Amino acid sequence: MKKNLYPIPKRYTDPSKLVLCDPRAKGFLGDWDGRSGAALFGPTKAGKSLAAGLGCLRVNKRENSESWCKWVRADYLTCLVGQKTQSAWEQISELQAARVLVIDEMGYEPWPTSVLMFIGDRHDTERPTIITCGLEVSAFSQRYADATLRRILEIGNGCLVDFWKK
């Protein structure tokens, strides 16, 4: 079996850390089915990445595969797209083919069009994408347009969690 080059970071696989997070992180885990797109918005330490990681860990176990879900930071993804090497294109292909792709820390990457391309392609092939973002939903919509969020949430019964709302 091929090694997963984009595993869930270890720091996002410890369920005991949920007690330190916003209760909606735990709610996401109960709602997300592993077959749907999801968007998690909120401040640092709300539990966005932890919830995404634990959700993907659950899916990987259900599917009996450590590589069902792949994980990449948005800034790394944009740099990867900017490279014109065979290795970069192989990695891009691997990320596009992932059954579930988490794009972590969206909103701060220097070239957002690279990430938009990924989300659009995954939408077209009906592959779920989870994003985590420290921006508020309105700021995300201004940066990427409403269609980007729609493309994420249209896969399955998409889940949006806004940790910014009280």
**Residues ≥6 apart with Cβ < 8 Å to 62:** 34
The CA distance from 88 to 93, in Å, is 9
pLDDT the model gives residue 1: 46
pLDDT of residue 63: 85
Cβ-Cβ contacts under 8 Å for 122 (sequence gap 6 or more) = 96, 101, 128, 129, 151, 155
Residues with pLDDT less than 50, the chain: 1
User: Which pLDDT score is estimated for 72?
Assistant: 95
Nearest CA to 118 out of 20, 37, 4, 31 is that of 37
38-74 burial code (b ≥16 CB/10 A, e <16): bbbbbeeebbbbbbbbbbbbbbbeeeeeebbbbbbbb
Q: In terms of Cα–Cα distance, which of 142, 146, 155 is closest to 36?
A: 155
Q: 0.85 exceeded by the pTM?
A: yes
Per-residue model confidence (pLDDT) at position 3? 66
**pLDDT tens digits for 42-76?**
999 999 999 999 999 988 888 887 778 999 999 99
Average pLDDT value over all residues in the chain: 91
pLDDT score recorded for residue 68: 84
Phi, psi of 102 (to 5 degrees): -100, 125
Residue-level pLDDT at 66: 74
The pLDDT of residue 2 is 59
Can you state the angle between helices 137-144 and 112-124, rounded to 10 degrees? 90
